[in-house]
Amino acid sequence: MTDKVKDEIQMNQAEQRAESTSITDVTDSNLDLDGATVLRTSEANADDKAIRRTRTIATIVLIILILIILAACLMMWALLRPGGLDLGRQHAGITWIRSIYGHGTTYGGMINPSSVTFSSDGESLWITDSERFRLVQYDINGRLMRIVNADWRENEMIFPSYIAISPQGWIYVAEQTYDRVQIFDENLVHQRTIDIQIPMSLAANDDMLLIGSRRGFAAFTYDGEPIGMHDAASEDEINRFDYVHGLALDEDNNSFVLDSFGNRLVKYDSGGVPIYEVFLGHPGNEGIRGGMGVDETELVENFPANLQLPQGIALDGNGRLYIIDMFDFSVGVFHADTGEFIKKVGAHGTEDGRFFYASDIDYNPTMDMFVSAEANLGRVQLFAIDGSAGDPLSQLRRQLDDFLRACCIPLLIILIIIAAYLISRYIARKRREKELEAALIDPDAAPGEGAVNVTEGDVSITGSIEKQT
């Protein structure tokens, strides 16, 4: 045998020994990998049990914490809501909300409201405190917001007796003692003074301003330019008035005029033409006793509302008209389109939820609530009447307002806790997915070394270990 043949045989034998050794190493590696995988799986199962146990405990703690915060919410709402009648309880068709008597027990903290109106955004109310020569603004929860005192030096407002606010926020203040009406913009910057005899009522929108006086009423543009008037000198009897204590304007600039001593309501179109006339009760200026001596059957037949001295008027969001009566201690409800009487609500009394010589009324369409002024008691009352809401959401806002205002901070804390919990769960799940993926790739190898790809029923080895062929 030649030397060349011997060399080839030796080389073949060496290759066979190398292949046998590689196969043995691969087998050993598979055994080691199986053992590591089983170990890592066991550890992962133990970790999963611990995580599930921790997650369950955290969930229970979270639920208990939320229940405690909700209980605190209910307690805060019960403590902060006003006293008097139970909220939601009705009395004579009135659902009382709250009463405002002022912001303190001293003389300066009390109020003497001759008139009251809601702000244009519905979040607050303004009163004319004639006794203390000022305007006072409260939010609808009764918290003091602002006091505007009479400005004797500038002579812009000395004796405020009546107030109205337009949708754009302009403020109109009547000074009955000084025979004038002051016009302010939404920032309470004085714009104009209108001289008019004994102004006792106001109504305003973004187009018109109405001013009621002893013998009639006059119409102006929103910034005070004269449009026209109806007074005692009118040739038509329907246009003759005896103390106009109430005025209202709708979106179409139709005017609703309350003739207090004549005990009647007259509606005019935007051009000042009468649409209807409704007698609300026996005229209070006919005879010494007015209508008190008239037979009850005759009163019901001729004057179904049977009001005594109507003083204030308001339009709701559902096409109805509300007239508050000082001597009847009630609110009459009418259809605004026809003047037809619907019902009468309210009762006499000094308790919250009853009326005691109320002189003014206004409606808040944003929150579906009314406000009345009672100067003799130094009180304004917020209340609701069924069927007044034009927007169902406004009624819901009113019903939830007290709870949300009292509990907004605890509820916000609950939302933050829930959000943090959900975010932490999401992050933990993503981290576990990455750890599991890394474990399946290679339980022991560091990044950059040979990778071990493990799938169910299959193990492949690449990198530093190469298959020998």
pLDDT band at residue 465 using 50, 70 and 90 as cut-offs: very low
Joined tokens for residue 127: 């009163």
Domain check: are 233 and 334 in the same one? Answer: yes
Same domain, 322 and 199: yes
Are 66 and 110 in the same domain?
Answer: no
Same domain, 253 and 346: yes
Q: Which of 158-167, 209-218, 397-406 has the lowest mean pLDDT?
A: 397-406
CB atoms within 10 A of CB 420: 11
Residues 56 and 133 in one domain: no
171 and 251 share one domain: yes
Res 77: pLDDT: 58
Beta bridge partners of 315: 321
Kindly report, residue by residue over 256-280, the tens digit of the pLDDT: 999 999 999 999 999 999 999 999 9
Q: Could you tell me if residue 394 is inside a domain?
A: no
Same domain, 113 and 137: yes
Domain annotation covers residue 396: no
Residues 152 and 256 in one domain: yes
At residue 37 the predicted structure's pLDDT band, cuts being 50, 70 and 90, is low
Q: Can you give the pLDDT at residue 374?
A: 96
* pTM for the structure as a whole: 0.70
* Co-location of 370 and 442 in the same domain: no
User: Is residue 44 assigned to a domain?
Assistant: yes
Q: What is the CATH number of the domain that holds 188?
A: 2.120.10.30
User: Using one digit for the tens of pLDDT, what is the confidence trace for 219-241?
Assistant: 999 999 999 988 877 778 899 99
Please check whether residue 217 lies inside any domain of the structure. yes
Residue type for position 379: R
The span from the first CA to the last CA of the chain, in angstroms, equals: 29
Average pLDDT, the chain: 80
* Domain residue limits at 348: 94-385
The dihedral through the CA atoms of 87, 93, 98, 99 has a sign that is: negative
Please count the structural domains in the chain: 2
Residues 427 and 374 grouped into a single domain? no
Q: Which residues are within 8 A (CB) of 312 and not within 5 positions of it... i.e. 6 or more apart?
A: 115, 245, 246, 258, 323, 324, 358, 359, 360, 361, 362, 372, 373
Residue 353 lies in a domain: yes
Answer yes or no: do 147 and 247 share one domain.
yes
For residue 299, what is the enclosing H or E element? Answer: helix 296-302
- Residue 56 sits in the same domain as residue 150: no
Contact (Cβ atoms closer than 8 angstroms) between residue 430 and residue 436: no
Residue 452 — pLDDT band, cuts 50, 70, 90?
very low
Scored b (16 or more CB within 10 A) or e, 130-152 reads: bebebbbebebbbeeeeebebee
Report yes or no on 85 lying in a domain: no
Q: Are 269 and 256 in contact (CB under 8 A)?
A: no
Distance CA 372, CA 383 (A): 8
- Indicate whether 143 pLDDT > 80: yes
Three-class SS string for 399-424?
HHHHHHHHHHHHHHHHHHHHHHHHHH
